[in-house]
A and B are shown apart, each in its own frame.
Chain A
């Protein structure tokens, strides 16, 4: 049973574009929503995270939008650069501290 559904699986944008990655969850007990970035040959690294009492959070060019009623959250990357090409994972934390990942989105930013 997939507890976090992430889309799209892959995404290609031009430099300067705004890729958007979406995630949906079912369990309302999830209470923390991080996004991870993974480059080839590396482990995932925390990019940005949001709590359910906030609808939006920005850190540099990265923004999370959170819709609690729809049980959805998304990552926007402003002014995307070729160096942003990586695989992005949304995740949820349950109250037991267990991290559950989405399937991942492979982003390619063309020069």
Chain B
């Protein structure tokens, strides 16, 4: 069974640009969550999507947005990039939403903002 895949694995952008990251969950998984990982702040929850609807949202500005498609694949978008957005962005999938469903993480997309 293939794991969670994220594309691209590495990305370099400049301030003010926007970026779209993609996540393909494990087959059969319908929930996708996104996290930002930085050395200073650790792993922080961005948002969760289930059945194409945002179910949970973390404390991030509106520049961070996401969506989920009918095949459960998800994208997250960051507009007007800032230097502080440089981070590893992780996607995790689980069978369903809520409860204590195990989350399976992808390898992440390393975003560098210059």
Contacts and interface: CB of A to CB of B under 8 A. Distances in A.
Nearest to B31: A97
A89 B43 CA distance: 9
A100 B45 contact: yes
Contacts of A25: none
Interface in B23-81: 33, 35, 42-45, 48, 55-56
Interface in A63-111: 89, 93, 96-104
Interface string A20-42: 00000000000110000000011
A97 B106 contact: no
Interface stretch (A11-19, A43-51, A53-61): A43-51
Interface residues of B, number: 24
Contact of B90 (A44, A49, A97, A102): A44
B103 A99 contact: yes
Contact of B106 (A43, A102, A103): A43
B99 interface: yes
Contacts of B43: 44, 89, 101, 104
B90 to A, nearest CB: 5
B28 to A, nearest CB: 17
B42 A103 contact: yes
A15 B42 CA distance: 27
Nearest to B98: A97
A99 B45 contact: yes
A66 to B, nearest CB: 15
Given A43-B90, A98-B45, A102-B42, 20 more contacts: A41-B107, A42-B105, A43-B92, A43-B105, A43-B106, A43-B108, A44-B90, A45-B105, A46-B104, A93-B100, A96-B56, A97-B48, A97-B100, A97-B101, A99-B103, A101-B35, A101-B42, A103-B42, A104-B42, A104-B43
